A and B are shown apart, each in its own frame.
Chain A
Amino acid sequence: MTVLSGTSDGGSNGGAVTIVHLYPTLMGTYGDGGNIRILVRRLAARRMNAHLITVGPGEPVPDSADLYVLGGGEDRSQVAASRELRNSGALNRAAARGATVFAVCAGLQVLGHDFEVSGGETEPGLGLLDATTRRRSRHAQGGAPPANARNRKDSVWPRAVGEVLAEPLDGSPLLTGYENHGGGTVLGPAAAPLARVISGIGNGSGSAAGDGHEGAVQGRILATYLHGPVLARNPALADRLLELATGSELAPLEVAYVDQLRAEREHYVKTGKLSAESVHTRR
């Protein structure tokens, strides 16, 4: 367990926001470690102290932190992380206490009731989200054929890979990111989607093109399929997590190049073209 305090208070976490980064070596395949850097940076920019705890496999998970972050990973890593968390019980205790939890992709699946891995076996998850995940190929075989099925090709649902643009249900700015998953997640009545898909697949159940849902929200538990890393591309989502974790409203924050990045990605999704504007220099 690595403990880093971005503070001058000598390592005590009095007054600091305690963030637990769960298993970055297992669940960090798609640059999701960047989400942690963004959270810490946005706290620091507001002169708030961050107390970061990184938990590796086999190490104890603290149950008293404010915010827990779980990224994406390969099947085997995902199963390993899920088993560690189930055996420890700490994340469930923390969530019951009202801690904020944020998960990405395979992490989203782990937070649900159960998920299927590529061998066809079903692995129990943590049950923190009212969600179940099966391979998209199984949804395609088991469920009724998608309403818009025109040919046999539509009955096989490919892996969901590509840029996503989605509209958050809470009215915050558009969600932008990159998805890459073979799982299709169905939300139960206790969970709401994080956003409605404008372009891309999202949760990926219901039909080959998904069911229009992206991610999940249940109390203080938020999850998404989006990489990017998603908090680097969506500062509003980062602040939503920090506001949940700190219980206080945060002042807006200007960060260099983020607006241009968001505009460029939105332009690309809508037109299929990269923007080619001129030189930007900061002076």
Chain B
Amino acid sequence: MSAQLPLRSHLAITAGRTAAAVSRAVGRGRGQVIGGRVMLKIDPSLLRRLAAPMRVTAVSATNGKSTTTRMIAEALRTAGSVAHNSTGANMAAGVATALATNRRAAFAAIEVDEAHLPAVAQSTGASQLVLMNLSRDQLDRGSEVRMLAERWHSMAAALGPDVEVIANADDPMVAWAASAAPNVTWVGCGQWWTEDSALCPSCGASLTRTAANWACQRCGLSRPETAWFILPDAAQIVTPSGTVRPQLALPGRFNVANAAIALAAVTARGVGTDSALDAFGRVNDVDGRYVRASVEGHEARLLLGKNPASWTEMMQLVAGSPALLVTVLNARGADGRDPSWIWDVPFEDWAGRPCWVAGERRFDLAVRLDTAGLEVLGVSLDPLAATAEAAPGQGLDIVANYTAFQELRGQVVK
């Protein structure tokens, strides 16, 4: 049921594909962004036209949006064809490429950058918005958390009841933003990183918190009641029709939280719980995240930690691992040029742990980890120099931020 597109749109798609192919041919990347930009330049209405016949789910968050979108896409695939921006190109251009690549799709599952969500949600006419969490990320060029929440709030206030918002009730910033929408399904996904929601997003008073609840004593804003939530063991999900225990290939409590909100989203699209959970269980790497690769005889696991909240979760994940911990930090444009956020990660919790430190900003990270009491075995620009320090057969847990991660993936994943 592909859209009947005008000539201009066809020209736009052809030109965009050509640009993407040229970009790939000269080794400038995967071409999704440049291709999409060319498409939208030629036909600014292309997103709306391509999305018109699809049921669009847009997913946004500071952390977990790629994984959750992937889970949603896998589950929707059991019900029909899905357009999905699976490589993380998550602004209008990347979304245009994804939709143009699968024009006959019944569904679209798209992850969208937090700042671009209002524009992309509107231009695609998304009928389902999945809103997960907001925390500090790339403050040198991104927006402060509260400003993002405000943009989401304005977007939500303009939605009609035909748009279903599925939102994390445990993140006060997200809950306040989503509460402006007329049609919200609340999911209790947990919030482990609370440093960016000390104040009421509505009135600015200090929020009071208990283990499972938050509220503002001044204006009365409080955690909405949820019919969907993860249990404190972070292994089971309560749904309106019973409690389930997802068997995920992906590690970490945050991935159970991702599965909970993904489950609420695909259930609303008519996918049964069992098929959805099976589909989630098939997701084993997400654009290189969690992937295992062999590096000079050592099994390496690649983990992305791009901001304080996600780095903290990755440290939790590797806590009991016998592998050598390799931490990698860059501060290029895509990472945020100010890496001082590493001081927000509670590395003190892992004092005594041996680690290797690498990347362009290795000295910043070495000072941080040494101050926290980790045993810094050495530092190098190249993360793979750590193999010299690993015992024979010892694995490597490599936690890297964005550009460091991308580069490593290119090096070790064949």
Contact = CB atoms under 8 A, between A and B. Distances in A.
B367 A261 contact: yes
B196 to A, nearest CB: 8
B379 A280 contact: yes
Contacts, number: 106
Q: Which of B367, B376, B378, B388 has the most chain A CB atoms closer than 10 A to its own CB?
A: B367
Q: Which of A79, A178, A257 has the most chain B CB atoms closer than 10 A to its own CB?
A: A257
Interface string A230-267: 00100000000000000000000001111011001000
Contacts of B372: 37
B198 A227 contact: no
Interface residues on B, range: 35 or more
A278 B340 contact: no
Contacts of B343: 31-34, 37, 229, 232
B370 A257 contact: yes
A96 interface: no
A80 B340 contact: no
A57 B209 CA distance: 13
Given A26-B198, A74-B146, A161-B140, A255 B341 contact: no
A31 B344 CA distance: 5
Nearest to B369: A257
Nearest to A178: B338
Interface residues on A, range: 35 or more
B342 interface: yes
Interface string B311-354: 00000000000000000000000000110111110001000000
Interface stretch (B108-116, B119-127, B358-366): B358-366
Nearest to A230: B340
A274 B360 contact: yes
A25 interface: yes
A80 B368 CA distance: 29
Interface in B381-414: 381, 385, 388-389
A158 to B, nearest CB: 12
A220 interface: no
A41 B195 CA distance: 23
A115 interface: no
A144 interface: no
Interface of B: 136, 139-141, 144-146, 195, 198-199, 204, 206, 337-338, 340-344, 348, 360, 363-364, 366-368, 370-372, 376-381, 385, 388-389
